[in-house]
Structure 1
Amino acid sequence: MLTELLTGWITHQRWFAGKGRPIDDLTVDSDVELSPRLRHLIISVHQSGARDRYQLLLGSEAPEWARFKPAHIGGGYYDAAYDADLTAALLEGMAADRDLGALRFRHLDGVEIDTSKRSLVLGAEQSNTSLVYGDTYICKLFRRLTAGVNPELEIVTALARRDGTHIAQPYGWIETDLDGETTTLAMTQQFLSNANDGWALALASVRDLYGSLEPSASDAGGDFSSEAYRLGVTTATVHQEMAAAFPTDVIESQEVKRMVEEFRRRLTVAVAEVPALGEHAHAAEEAYQRVSDVAGEMPVQRVHGDYHLGQVMRTTNDWIILDFEGEPGQPIAERRALSSPLRDVAGMLRSFDYAARHLLADHSNADELRPRAVEWAELNRSSFLAGYSAGGGHLRAEDAVLLRALELDKAAYEVVYESRNRPTWLHIPMAAFKIGH
């Protein structure tokens, strides 16, 4: 009966990846009791010959409020992630380094966890579920499971052990074994309750500029360039910390050329899906060819992998970088692979373009404001790069060629994404192929 209830329930969850396809079978692979009314389940969902695994905190003897979605499962069962009376078991397990069945609860050496905090589910997440305990901790449950240690846990714990200052302090995690590999189920970090999201701060600056009588982005009241500079310094610092904490390498010119061929392949796919990109694709092709022409050795290291303004928070003292998971949906091996740190730099440069332009999508004065958007993006892109260099980031003159290619590769990905999900935003990545940076 439980598997039937879960089959009907799981398809309606935001984090379920198999929407639109029928479920052929659902099985419970692991069932561990955490407390008298709380069980931890690992579920396999079979669809079209493929299997995805998910985790669920299953509550029983559902309280009255659990009759309402999204917690309600049926038959007296509910998603206990929404029950603060039961989720205390997660903090308690991590604080005690407890082993329960196949689950291992762990905490970072030298930290203490206050188990008295009560949890609240953060809204709007698509692939995970985050529980905020008071104003102190945030525990991220990885709903869809992939065998292996989560890259974010790996990176933030390594940086914390080296006294890294630009990360949210990690406290603990939950793990199990899947396919013979230690696999991260959840991780708990410092909750930055008084910090401001980088994307929100950038948009506030753009709105100030659009509403200002000042002719220049640097003269408008919401100038963001000093923050962009500090963010560049922080980015360079964290790149150096990751290079010290993990192995680094240098790839030869032939491997660089193979990377460029992958750029070309992705561009071809993007043009096939969005034919309008075709008339501007020459800009990317020329940029890729320039990388091939000057290809030499390229240093590579662990990187963030999905770096943009939504992944950084401004505290009263400095910038903090979050979500070192890498590109969502990619295999863990790819997310852990060494890459040029300029990949992160390119991601942030693209994010400045997004911040400048996305408010133009339905703006009545879009044509009049577009030059201001370009100016704002250019000012903050250059400030970020200046900060990155000042912070010790490697930006040689010849790196401009690689950086431009990485930006356009990212923009090609964005073109496909926006065409599928947000057509009114398609103009943002398309612009990257029409103007030079």
Structure 2
Amino acid sequence: MSESSAPRTAPPRPAAQAAPTGAAVFRSLTGLLARWLPRQRWYADKGRALSGLTLVSATELLPCADGGPTPGLLHLLVRTVPQGTPEQDGSCYQLLLGVRSVLPPALAPALVGRPADGPLRGRAVYEALHDPRLAALLLERLRAPGTLGGLTFQRAHSAAIPSGLPARALGGDQTNSSVVYGEAHILKLFRRVSPGVNPDLELPRALAAAGCDRVPAPSAWFEAEAEGAEPITLGVLQPFLAGSTDGWALALKSLSLRTDFAAAAHGLGAATAEVHLALARNLPTTTLRGERLERSALAMTERLTAAAAAVPALRPYCTGLRRSFDSLAAFARGGGHLDAQRLHGDLHLGQALHRDGSWTLIDFEGEPARPLPERRRPQPPVRDIAGILRSFDYAAGQHRAPGPWVSAWATAAREAYCRGYAEVSGDDHTQRPELLRAFETDKAVYEVLYEARHRPAWLHIPMAAVRRLAG
């Protein structure tokens, strides 16, 4: 890496004070992190060179610089600035780093590197969540509320959190990171963070207060201070629903066995409606009409334009796709309106767990690529519905032997889901197909951009929907 393109260090920016050795430790880690961060699944700026890397805060959860046999644990918030991006538009990431003199072979895949200088010179620095010993320490911190450095740990009054639970990190495609403790709890750590309460903490707490049992209630959480702004939500501990099967796996099994999925889809539609009704009763709602609703249609068009600029395969279909957004704008100009409320925001089959014939919804973070204030904004319920309908198409698109019966499977699932939703909510979105189509199109455009950046082998699935929706 040339000197001109090497990431630079800068003084900490937010209120959380670095540990006494934090700045020195970070300087010794900058080069290692600049190479390691862009390779992580949850890194948001794939394919863009990193021009800046600055320290936001550093907190030693366990001493890191003494060189003894006990592993150290360092919590970092770092800001990355891709080339061509103003520094204020960079992203802030949460890192949990373990430090050992000798790295056990089982932790070798988690190695970040060995600093050549500084307080940690020659020691192994690695992803701490893969170390059961260090992951267990996080659970103990959450069991005993309090403050350490710029971090605050909180616990729900009624939560029972056992001690000594074995920890295991989950793998797979994740935009965040999760650790399961025994069969009792799961801790979700947000990787890309910003000031403000995360919806994955805010909405489940509101639903728990409303008595809605379709969503696990948070047991504990932790935050970081942010000068002049709301605290930054860093992680949420919730009950782990052992024995559950997520809706994605359930749908793929149904397709592989050629079994009917309509009954399960109907139940999921009813569960979605229950959650929407509880959120509408307990959190602010609004109505989108006139200019506000037209702006929503314009935002969809702008997202299409940006996605087409990044994904050339989308460009031939832009004219056809815009017709859906034009229909939404015409609906607004004709006096139409849509009720808006807090939503899941990124609802798909993988965010729904099925156990003993009942559905539970999880992961209320919303679409991670969108700014936090946008994810916390009231939206029409049809956005969540469109997400599930697109997920049925995704499952069908994954089937190895596509054919007419696969299309019939997806159609039956879509219809059953909408029926289940309408029976509970009283709102049948199939009666307004032009609105449903606009939100499905917006979701498909998002999927094209996401797959092109993160999973190119899956790009054909949303592109099939694009061709259908554009026609």
**Pairwise TM-score range, normalised by the shorter structure:** 0.7 to 0.9
The answer to whether the 8 Å contact 1:281/1:433 transfers is no
C-alpha separation in 2, matches of 1:377 and 1:426:
17
2:214 maps to 1:166: yes
2:149 maps to 1:101: yes
Aligned to 1:409: 442
Measured after TM superposition, the shift of residue 4 of structure 1 is 3.0
For structure 1, the residue ranges without an aligned partner over 5 or more in a row are 210-221
Please report the RMSD computed on the Cα atoms of aligned residues, expressed in angstroms. 2.6
Measured after TM superposition, the shift of residue 188 of structure 1 is 0.6
User: Equivalent of 2:127, from 74, 79, 91?
Assistant: 79
Q: Secondary structure at the match of 2:425?
A: coil
C-alpha separation in 2, matches of 1:15 and 1:435:
30
Aligned to 1:214: none
Q: TM-score, normalised by structure 1?
A: 0.87
* Matched residue type, 1:140: K
Q: Secondary structure at the match of 1:64?
A: coil
Which piece of structure 1 moves more, 53-62 or 22-31?
22-31
Name the CA shift for 1:259/1:144 in 2 (closer, same or farther; >3 Å). Answer: closer
2:14 maps to 1:14: no
Measured after TM superposition, the shift of residue 177 of structure 1 is 1.2
Aligned to 1:353: 393
The answer to whether the 8 Å contact 2:430/2:436 transfers is no
Measured after TM superposition, the shift of residue 411 of structure 1 is 1.9
Matches within 5 A, 1:23-38: 23-36=50-63, 37-38=72-73
* Matched residue type, 1:90: L
Name the CA shift for 1:14/1:397 in 2 (closer, same or farther; >3 Å). Answer: closer
Q: TM-score, normalised by structure 2?
A: 0.81
The answer to whether the 8 Å contact 1:71/1:82 transfers is no
Measured after TM superposition, the shift of residue 198 of structure 1 is 0.5
2:28 maps to 1:4: yes
User: Equivalent of 2:413, from 351, 363, 380?
Assistant: 380
Aligned to 1:122: 170
Measured after TM superposition, the shift of residue 16 of structure 1 is 3.4
Name the CA shift for 1:69/1:359 in 2 (closer, same or farther; >3 Å). Answer: same
Aligned to 2:3: none
Q: Deviations over 1:62-83 (max 9, x none)?
A: 4531661224532323332222
Measured after TM superposition, the shift of residue 342 of structure 1 is 0.5
Q: Secondary structure at the match of 1:38?
A: strand
Q: Deviations over 1:70-105 (max 9, x none)?
A: 245323233322222233332222222121121110
The answer to whether the 8 Å contact 1:197/1:313 transfers is yes
2:269 maps to 1:232: yes
C-alpha separation in 2, matches of 1:246 and 1:35:
39
Q: Deviations over 1:151-190 (max 9, x none)?
A: 1111111111222211123110011112432111111111
Name the CA shift for 1:251/1:39 in 2 (closer, same or farther; >3 Å). Answer: same
* Matched residue type, 2:209: R
Aligned to 1:434: 468
Number of aligned residues = 418
C-alpha separation in 1, matches of 2:162 and 2:172:
26
User: Equivalent of 2:188, from 131, 140, 147?
Assistant: 140
2:358 maps to 1:318: yes
Measured after TM superposition, the shift of residue 303 of structure 1 is 0.8
Measured after TM superposition, the shift of residue 241 of structure 1 is 1.0
* Matched residue type, 2:97: L
Matches within 5 A, 1:286-301: 286-295=323-332, 296-301=336-341
The answer to whether the 8 Å contact 1:6/1:73 transfers is no
User: Equivalent of 2:257, from 208, 215, 233?
Assistant: 208
C-alpha separation in 2, matches of 1:20 and 1:291:
34
Name the CA shift for 1:345/1:397 in 2 (closer, same or farther; >3 Å). Answer: closer
Aligned to 2:66: none
2:294 maps to 1:266: no
C-alpha separation in 2, matches of 1:82 and 1:27:
25
Aligned to 2:79: 44
Which piece of structure 1 moves more, 234-243 or 46-55?
46-55
User: Equivalent of 1:246, from 263, 272, 283?
Assistant: 283
Measured after TM superposition, the shift of residue 21 of structure 1 is 4.7
The answer to whether the 8 Å contact 1:236/1:393 transfers is no
Measured after TM superposition, the shift of residue 239 of structure 1 is 0.4
* Matched residue type, 2:428: L
C-alpha separation in 1, matches of 2:405 and 2:112:
49
Identity %: 38
C-alpha separation in 1, matches of 2:458 and 2:150:
47
The answer to whether the 8 Å contact 1:419/1:426 transfers is no
Which piece of structure 1 moves more, 143-152 or 193-202?
143-152
Which piece of structure 1 moves more, 163-172 or 40-49?
40-49
The answer to whether the 8 Å contact 2:419/2:428 transfers is no
Q: Secondary structure at the match of 1:41?
A: strand
Which piece of structure 1 moves more, 65-74 or 243-252?
65-74
Aligned to 1:284: 321
